[in-house]
Amino acid sequence: MTVLSENATDGEIRLVGSNFTFEGRVEIYHNKEWGTICDDGWGVEETNVVCHQLGYMNGAQYWYGNAKFKKGHGKIWLDDVSCYGNESALIECLNIGWNGHNCRHYEDVGVVCQPKGECTSLSIMSK
């Protein structure tokens, strides 16, 4: 199978599976492949890091486990990701290593970032 690199760089993030650009399944690029991230231990800090990395400076609005934005394909690159919340990229957060996981794609994590240009507060809905 040929995987197009699409000029992505290692550790780059994208959101897919939604009609809106500010939300979607979180995918991370590593070793020339896009892969998903498991929902285990995922929360507001991790969502904030993803949103900030994508340029949504107001950070997180919400997050979902269990493949809310459909199941991904291929690798599940990261699991048990744990951020402080002020990292500039998700790969700076603790995790158990590329492709190290005990997950299936029905656990792919999804996030909703505060859309750009909205001056909403950073209050986060708790689950």
Q: Distance between CA 60 and CA 111 in Å, rounded?
A: 8
CB of 46 to Ca ion, least distance (A): 13
Q: Distance between CA 30 and CA 101 in Å, rounded?
A: 15
Residue nearest to Ca ion (CB): 40
In this complex, which beta carbon is closest to Ca ion, that of residue 14 or of residue 105? Answer: 105
Q: Distance between CA 92 and CA 24 in Å, rounded?
A: 21
In this complex, which beta carbon is closest to Ca ion, that of residue 56 or of residue 91? Answer: 91
CB of 102 to Ca ion, least distance (A): 5
CB of 64 to Ca ion, least distance (A): 12
In this complex, which beta carbon is closest to Ca ion, that of residue 12 or of residue 107? Answer: 107
Q: Distance between CA 65 and CA 96 in Å, rounded?
A: 18
CB of 96 to Ca ion, least distance (A): 7
Interface contacts to Ca ion, rule CB under 5 A: 39-40, 79-80, 102, 107
In this complex, which beta carbon is closest to Ca ion, that of residue 21 or of residue 66? Answer: 66
Number of CB atoms found within 10 A of residue 62's CB: 16
Residue 121 CB partners (closer than 8 Å, separation 6+): none
CB 77 within 8 A of CB 37: yes
